[in-house]
Copies of this chain bind each other. A is one copy, B any other.
Amino acid sequence: MSARRVKVGMAGLGRMGARHARNLAFRIPGAELVAGNSPSTEEREWASRELGAARVYADYAELLADRDVEAVFIATPTTEHATQIIAALEAGKHVFCEKPTSLALADCLRVEEVARRHPKLKAMIGYVRRFDPSYRDAYARVAQGAIGTPFLVKSQTTDKHDPSGFFVKFAPKSGGIFLDMSVHDIDTARWFLGGIRPLRAFATGTVAVHEGLKACGDLDNGVAMVEFEGGKMAVLQASRTMPHGHETSAEITGTTGRLTIGAGARSNRVEIADGTGIRHECTPTFYERFEEAFLLELSAFVDAVRDDTPLPLSLRDATEATRIGLAIQQSLATRRSVDIEPSA
């Protein structure tokens, strides 16, 4: 293949960062992983050994100083995102960052502002469902008018119950269940409804299983509604206690049809008939569900960098997901519907 490879550096080599790094190293033909960065010695050793990355830095600043690196991929804790995105842009690097931009609206806006000052650099937040083949197929159908005018999006992010309660320790810094999980669903709703203005939100939720969440005021199950202008609506569900698997799904209803994406969460094409009836098993985590989408997401970003083509979602889209997520969390805290101010 004659086309050149984009030289990339991976910041963050934890669970998600390691997956992205491995994909960039071996499964994205348009990318060449030239550097990595992690504060963890163990993670740096893993990257040197497994990825053949020439240079693995302890400091993020070193990664940015690496002249070879054209594009930075960030999969660090959310609290680092805004600062690291801004630093990357100011170092002249294209930047891809895991969702969300930030839990603070001001930080999201600051990222947008810096990006505007670097119009030649690509910057994208990784709302992965936008790259999933099934979500894309549904979106293409909507665009072709297959369901008339869409007016209702029901979307859920529901994780399989993890008896270890591993995630409980991350809850205090997660921003709450809706900011942590439902930003994906908010982005899905905005994508399918056309990026229109949200008017108000209402939410409720409960600790159904993980009592440990009560200490930080978080929940393991919640539902929310968002009303948009023009009679558009979204219903969101977040759960950390599904018995059967990770079942991220969405239902888009329009005036002449309805599309459902991901319902059933089939892990593969096998169906089992036994004493329990007829059943299929389900994708255990978001990673099995979206493995192909993660590849396509990285490829799309790399291609946009190489060919200087537009990205399918903007930093503003990511800001809006945070902004609506914050309103939902506020409704949860006040137990009242919350009006959402127009964005600047």
Closest to A49 in B: B2
| A233 and B209 contacting across the interface, CB-CB below 8 Å | no
A contacts with B, residue count (CB < 8 A): 79
Residues in A184-215 with C-beta less than 8 Å from chain B? 199-200, 202, 204-209
Contact with B along A255-294 (1 / 0, CB 8 A): 1111111111111111111111111111000000000000
Q: Which residues of B have CB within 8 Å of A273?
A: 242-244, 247, 257-260, 282
Report if A50-B1 is in contact (Cβ < 8 Å); known contacts: A26-B29, A146-B272, A202-B225: yes
Q: Which residues of B have CB within 8 Å of A336?
A: 336-337
Closest to A3 in B: B52
| B255 and A209 contacting across the interface, CB-CB below 8 Å | yes
| B280 and A280 contacting across the interface, CB-CB below 8 Å | no
| A233 and B204 contacting across the interface, CB-CB below 8 Å | yes
Q: How far is the CA of A296 from the CA of B225 in the complex (A)?
A: 36
Q: Which residues of B have CB within 8 Å of A232?
A: 206
Q: How far is the CA of A243 from the CA of B282 in the complex (A)?
A: 21
Report if A257-B280 is in contact (Cβ < 8 Å); known contacts: A50-B1, A231-B207: no
Number of copies: 4
Q: How far is the CA of A274 from the CA of B274 in the complex (A)?
A: 15
Q: Which residues of B have CB within 8 Å of A244?
A: 257-258, 273-278
Q: Which residues of B have CB within 8 Å of A261?
A: 269-271
Q: How far is the CA of A270 from the CA of B279 in the complex (A)?
A: 12
Residue A147 CB within 8 A of the other chain: yes
Q: Pick from A66-74, A132-140, A312-320 the stretch touching chain B.
A: A132-140
| A147 and B225 contacting across the interface, CB-CB below 8 Å | no
Q: How far is the CA of A272 from the CA of B277 in the complex (A)?
A: 10
Q: Which residues of B have CB within 8 Å of A147?
A: 243, 274
| A152 and B253 contacting across the interface, CB-CB below 8 Å | no
10 closest A-B pairs by beta carbon, nearest first, are A206-B231, A279-B279, A202-B202, A134-B269, A244-B273, A277-B281, A337-B337, A258-B273, A257-B274, A260-B271
User: Which positions in A face B, CB cutoff 8 Å?
Assistant: 1-2, 25-27, 29, 49-52, 133-134, 137-138, 141, 146-147, 149, 151-152, 154, 199-200, 202, 204-209, 221, 223, 225, 227, 231-233, 235, 237, 239, 241-245, 247, 253, 255-282, 331, 335-337
